Structure 1
Amino acid sequence: MTNDSIGGEMETRRTTCAIAGAGPAGMMLGMLLARAGVETVVLEKHGDFLRDFRGDTVHASTMRLMGELGLLDAFTKLAHQRIHHLQVTTDDGTYKLMDFRRLPGKFKYITFLPQWDFLDFLLAEAEKYPNFRILRNSEVTGVIEDGERVTGLRYRDAEGERELRADLTVAADGRRSALRETAGLKSRVFGSGMDILWFQLTKKPDDPGGMVGRLSDGQLVVRIERQAHWQVAYTVRKDGYDEVRARGLDWFRENLAELVPFLADRVHEVGSWDDVKVLDVQIDRLDRWWRPGMLCIGDSAHTMSPIMGVGINLALQDAVAAANRIAGPLREGRLTDKHLESVQRRRTLPTVGTQRLQRFLQSRFLEPWVRGEGKSTTPVVLRILKRLPVLQAGPARTMAIGMRPEHPVPALRKPSALPRPTAANGE
Structure 2
Amino acid sequence: MTRSLSAVCCIAGGGPAGMMLGYLLARAGVPVVVLEKHADFLRDFRGDTVHPSTLQVMHELGLLDEFLKLPHQEVRELSLQIGAERFKVADFSRLPTACKFVALMPQWDLLDFLASKGRELPTFTLVMQAEVEGLIEAGGKVLGVMARTPDGPLEVRADLTVGADGRHSAVRAAAGLPVQDVGAPMDVLWFRLPRQSTDDDDTFGHVEPGRLLVMLNRGDYWQCAYVIPKNGHERVRAEGLEAFQADVRRLSPFLGERVSELDDWEKIKLLTVSIDRLTQWSRPGLICIGDAAHAMSPIGGVGINLAIQDAVAAANILAGPLKTGHVAAADLAAVQKRRMFPTRATQGAQSLIQKRIIAPLLGAKGSLPIPLPVRLLNRFRLLRGIPARLVGIGVRPEHVRTPAV
TM superposition score category, shorter chain reference: over 0.9
Tell me, in whole angstroms, the C-alpha distance in 1 between the residues paired with 2:364 and 2:322. Answer: 53
* Identical-pair percentage: 49
Tell me, in whole angstroms, the C-alpha distance in 1 between the residues paired with 2:308 and 2:143. Answer: 25
Among 268, 289, 295, which residue is 1:297 paired with?
289
Matched with 1:325 is: 317
SS in 1 for 2:34: strand
- Tell me the CA shift for residue 30 of structure 1: 0.4
Tell me, in whole angstroms, the C-alpha distance in 1 between the residues paired with 2:64 and 2:275. Answer: 32
Q: Return the letter of the residue paired with 1:91.
A: G
- Tell me the CA shift for residue 387 of structure 1: 3.0
Q: Return the letter of the residue paired with 1:310.
A: V
Tell me, in whole angstroms, the C-alpha distance in 2 between the residues paired with 1:52 and 1:312. Answer: 15
Tell me, in whole angstroms, the C-alpha distance in 2 between the residues paired with 1:335 and 1:236. Answer: 45
SS in 2 for 1:173: coil
Matched with 2:268 is: 276
Aligned ranges 1:2-151 → 2 under 5 Å: 10-151=2-143
Q: Return the letter of the residue paired with 2:154.
A: R
Matched with 1:421 is: none
Among 168, 176, 193, which residue is 2:168 paired with?
176
Matched with 1:395 is: 387
8 Å contact from structure 1 (residues 84, 108) kept in 2: yes
SS in 2 for 1:117: helix
Tell me, in whole angstroms, the C-alpha distance in 2 between the residues paired with 1:195 and 1:399. Answer: 20
Report the TM-score, using the length of structure 2 for normalisation: 0.97
Unaligned runs of 5+ in 1: 1-8, 417-427
2:342 equivalent to 1:350: yes
Matched with 1:363 is: 355
Aligned ranges 1:214-225 → 2 under 5 Å: 214-225=206-217
2:228 equivalent to 1:236: yes
Tell me, in whole angstroms, the C-alpha distance in 2 between the residues paired with 1:31 and 1:289. Answer: 21
CA deviations 1:186-221 (Å, max 9, x no partner) are 110012111000011112222212211000122100
Q: Return the letter of the residue paired with 1:205.
A: S
8 Å contact from structure 2 (residues 314, 335) kept in 1: yes
- Tell me the CA shift for residue 41 of structure 1: 0.6
Matched with 1:200 is: 192
Q: Return the letter of the residue paired with 1:50.
A: L
Tell me, in whole angstroms, the C-alpha distance in 1 between the residues paired with 2:397 and 2:308. Answer: 10
Among 260, 278, 294, which residue is 2:252 paired with?
260
Q: Which moved more, 1:352-361 or 1:104-113?
A: 104-113
Tell me, in whole angstroms, the C-alpha distance in 2 between the residues paired with 1:375 and 1:153. Answer: 55
8 Å contact from structure 1 (residues 218, 376) kept in 2: no
- Tell me the CA shift for residue 287 of structure 1: 0.4
Aligned ranges 1:155-194 → 2 under 5 Å: 155-194=147-186
Q: Which moved more, 1:99-108 or 1:131-140?
A: 99-108
Matched with 1:423 is: none
Tell me, in whole angstroms, the C-alpha distance in 2 between the residues paired with 1:244 and 1:339. Answer: 48
- Tell me the CA shift for residue 101 of structure 1: 1.4
Tell me, in whole angstroms, the C-alpha distance in 1 between the residues paired with 2:123 and 2:220. Answer: 37
2:372 equivalent to 1:380: yes
Tell me, in whole angstroms, the C-alpha distance in 1 between the residues paired with 2:162 and 2:50. Answer: 23
Tell me, in whole angstroms, the C-alpha distance in 2 between the residues paired with 1:210 and 1:172. Answer: 33
Distance 1:227 1:388, change over 3 A: closer
Q: Return the letter of the residue paired with 1:74.
A: E
Unaligned runs of 5+ in 2: none
Tell me, in whole angstroms, the C-alpha distance in 1 between the residues paired with 2:374 and 2:222. Answer: 24
SS in 2 for 1:182: helix
SS in 2 for 1:78: coil
SS in 2 for 1:222: strand
SS in 1 for 2:11: strand
- Tell me the CA shift for residue 400 of structure 1: 0.4
SS in 1 for 2:56: helix
Which runs of at least 4 in structure 1 moved beyond 4 Å after TM superposition?
none
Q: What is the RMSD of the two structures over their aligned residues, measured on CA atoms? A: 1.3
- Tell me the CA shift for residue 372 of structure 1: 2.0
- Tell me the CA shift for residue 98 of structure 1: 0.8
CA deviations 1:218-251 (Å, max 9, x no partner) are 2100000113311100000000111111111111
8 Å contact from structure 2 (residues 3, 153) kept in 1: no
- Tell me the CA shift for residue 64 of structure 1: 1.3
- Tell me the CA shift for residue 116 of structure 1: 0.6
8 Å contact from structure 1 (residues 218, 375) kept in 2: no
Tell me, in whole angstroms, the C-alpha distance in 2 between the residues paired with 1:188 and 1:327. Answer: 29
Tell me, in whole angstroms, the C-alpha distance in 2 between the residues paired with 1:238 and 1:145. Answer: 39
Q: Which moved more, 1:95-104 or 1:282-291?
A: 95-104
Q: Return the letter of the residue paired with 1:57.
A: T
Q: Which moved more, 1:23-32 or 1:65-74?
A: 65-74
Q: Return the letter of the residue paired with 2:185.
A: G
8 Å contact from structure 1 (residues 56, 114) kept in 2: yes
Tell me, in whole angstroms, the C-alpha distance in 2 between the residues paired with 1:155 and 1:163. Answer: 6
CA deviations 1:149-169 (Å, max 9, x no partner) are 111011101133222111100
CA deviations 1:90-136 (Å, max 9, x no partner) are 11410111111132343221111111111111111111111111110
Tell me, in whole angstroms, the C-alpha distance in 2 between the residues paired with 1:371 and 1:243. Answer: 15
